[in-house]
Amino acid sequence: MPASMNRKIRLDCEGKTAPEVLQGLVLEFKTPKNGRRVILLVENVGKINDSLPRLLRQVLDFFHEREIQAAIVDPTGCADTLFRTLGGSVHVQVCRSESEVLSPMDILVVEDTPDSLDFVRTLLETAGHRVATATTGAEAIRACESRSFDLVLLDMVLPDTDGMAVATRLAGRKVPLIAMSAYLDRWTPGDFRRAGFKRELRKPFKVADLLAALVVSPH
């Protein structure tokens, strides 16, 4: 993502309480500034004079209530661990370095269950990504033949075929694939790797699991 599209805020937690750190964040937003996304550079989280989980909950609530897209950068990894424990947020990405901050992606979601499809699409769109959908393997293949995607989230059990067959057809297109299924045990880890999958998501999965899968997938 170009730097001009990001607004960077640096928060130092050393010797501060959670309310003091949050107040610093609130003050940053009193003066409107350009930037389609906020990158929050958090420093010294291990030296906070308070509860880190409480601070993270308050920061997530701050961005969620304002519908602000934000990336929290914490080199220690503490925030990421707590973020996953809390279940994640579609408005916030937590990572260890700025190089991991995601740009908006073009994502194809292949899922035949309407509720599941709507759930994943809504999460991804709320997180700032552009989403196309398919409900069968044939539709997925046609979609990938007609345009390029940065990532394909592929349900492994489809009405007309299975995810492995779809992955085989898409192998030449070099698009990163993530497998989604409640029945991942039908295949071995080697099967997924040979088919080109970058990661597997076991249903039902949390918001944080989905967002983490996007980070590890090249785009």
CATH number, domain 106-216, options 3.40.50.150, 3.40.50.2300, 3.60.20.30, 3.40.1280.10 = 3.40.50.2300
Residue, of 199 and 1, whose pLDDT is higher: 199
pTM of the full structure: 0.75
pLDDT tens-digit profile of 54-77? 888 898 888 888 888 888 999 998
pLDDT tens-digit profile of 159-171? 999 999 999 999 9
Q: Which residues contact 108 (CB under 8 A, 6 or more apart)?
A: 131, 132, 133, 134, 140, 143, 144, 149, 151, 152, 153
The span from the CA of 82 to the CA of 45, in Å, is 12
Q: Does domain 3-100 have CATH number 3.10.290?
A: no
